[in-house]
């Protein structure tokens, strides 16, 4: 099909990748709350995920700066990229604070919130995969 607007799929691929990293982080937090014994190892894994999220965010911003016609408004692409990265940063901060303050066994409410967050990231991954196919 002919279109005057070039199709730029790379943004959607990067967003989908970013949501998958976010989902891995959310499940790692959930696992950290359910199995508090290995929290130091999980903190290291979360740090790696945070670096991966930063790299994806940098790639999106770099691509945004080099693309003339974007599939979404520039401001929206920038906001989505930074917000997805911010959530991974918050997940990392949560695990770091659990270690720093030696929170011990988490409450049932904290475990439920982590479960809900993990479920939400599943839906976020699905949404961005559908957006990529659009």
3-class DSSP string for 94-113: HHHHHHHCCCCCCCHHHHHH
Q: Which domains does the chain have, with CATH numbers?
A: 18-133 (1.20.58.220)
Task: Quote the pTM value.
Answer: 0.91
Quote the DSSP letter at residue 3: -
pLDDT score at 131: 87
pLDDT score at 94: 97
pLDDT score at 134: 72
The first and second tokens of residue 20, run together, are 């998958």
pLDDT score at 9: 78
R_g over Cα of the chain: 17
Task: Report the distance separating Cα 126 and Cα 31, nearest Å.
Answer: 21
pLDDT score at 31: 96
Tell me what the pLDDT averaged over the chain comes to.
92
Low-confidence ranges of the chain (pLDDT < 70): 1-8
pLDDT score at 2: 45
Task: Report the distance separating Cα 9 and Cα 59, nearest Å.
Answer: 13
């Amino acid at each position: 099909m002919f279109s005057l607007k070039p199709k730029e799929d790379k943004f959607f691929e990067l967003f989908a990748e970013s949501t998958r990293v976010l989902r891995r982080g959310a499940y790692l937090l959930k696992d950290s709350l359910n199995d508090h014994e290995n929290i130091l190892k999980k903190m290291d894994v979360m740090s790696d995920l945070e670096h991966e999220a930063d790299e994806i965010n940098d790639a999106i911003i770099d691509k945004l700066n080099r693309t003339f016609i974007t599939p979404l408004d520039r401001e929206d692409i920038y906001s989505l990229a930074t917000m997805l990265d911010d959530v991974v940063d918050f997940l990392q901060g949560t695990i770091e604070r659990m270690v720093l303050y030696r929170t011990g066994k988490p409450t049932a409410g904290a475990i439920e919130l982590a479960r809900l967050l993990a479920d939400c990231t599943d839906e976020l991954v699905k949404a961005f995969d559908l957006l990529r196919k659009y």
